[in-house]
Amino acid sequence: MNFGIAVHGGAGTMPRKLITPEIETACRNALKKAMQSGFAIIRDGGSSLDAVEAAVIELENFELFNAGKGSVFTNKGKHEMDAGIMDGKTLQCGAVAGVEHIKNPVALAKKILHHSEHILLLNDGAEEFAKMHRVEFADDDYFFTQLRYDQYLKAKNKDIIVLDHVDDKKLGTVGAVALDKEGNLAAATSTGGMTNKLFGRVGDSPIIGAGTYANNRTCAVSCTGHGEYFIQHVVAYDIHCLMEYKNMTLQQATEHVINDKLKNINAEGGLIAIDTKGNICLPFNTSGMYRGWMKSENDFFTAIY
């Protein structure tokens, strides 16, 4: 029986000299821990939806990735986090954008999927909904990391907005995709956005079809990169369409979108995807992407470059 999970911690330009052995080991361990958390759920007969939530929660709790605890600072010195999740069996989805005090935004996105007639909730309204459904909150101190604060000061002094996948330490958006024993697919993505961002900017991660998509007819996809391009080209849904309407394989579809379509417009990024047969693809058009997959306790893979 084919089932499995894949995760990512962001794609970008990653000079090897900036990734110390300690950082590389920590990131690989974080990817593995996330995969193990999600895989255990699938192995024991649980759903792919629960698996991607569990995996992304682990990645949100890892402070070197730009999501949850490791989220970057906005221009106002705050954290605005986004997340999306989708069930490939029912096409139900939930998403949240611009929340400041939610410990694990993907958990709130899943609550929205199950308990709201809406799909995307924003800012204070999303946090009000979170209180009603007992989602865990965290104060500003929980999200503070010296690494992100230093990046924020540097960007603010230069008056620039820094993409999460091309900043000093090259650690970005996180996500997971999974196929369970029942043949159901799911995808989830979470991000802290851009360093020094203005105007409540929201990227592709919580936009269903852009940064996150799952459909049992084809595949599940989680994206990472320059969100504006991924929104314009509806990247995650595009993978699904190429498979459903043009009969492309998962590999053909993902390679075409990442290495032809996006690369031709100088859009940087990558994605992880899994299809209904358990095939996994992790293409990226940058120098690296924190990524991994797991199909059994002894059959797993992690990489950066």
Interval 134-149: pLDDT, tens: 999 999 999 999 989 9
pLDDT digits (tens, 9 = 90+) for 37-91: 999 999 999 999 999 999 999 999 999 999 999 999 999 999 999 999 999 999 9
Helix pair 105-115, 48-60: axis angle to 10 deg? 150
CB-based burial label for 105 (10 Å; 0-12, 13-18, 19+): buried
Bridge partners of residue 93, in order along the sequence: 86
State the average pLDDT for the chain.
94
What's the pLDDT at 18? 77
Give the residue numbers marked as catalytic: 173
Distance from C-alpha of 233 to C-alpha of 300, rounded to nearest angstrom: 31
Q: What is the pLDDT of residues 93-117, one digit of tens each?
A: 999 999 999 999 999 999 999 999 9
| Domains along the chain with CATH numbers | 4-286 (3.60.20.30)
Task: Please state, in angstroms and rounded to a whole number, the distance separating the CA atoms of residues 248 and 232.
Answer: 22
The pTM is what? 0.95
Phi, psi of 153, deg, nearest 5: -65, -40
The alpha-carbon radius of gyration of the chain (Å, integer) is: 17
Name the token pair of 122.
């924003």
**What is the pLDDT confidence band of residue 168, given thresholds at 50, 70 and 90?**
very low
- State mean pLDDT over 118-142: 97
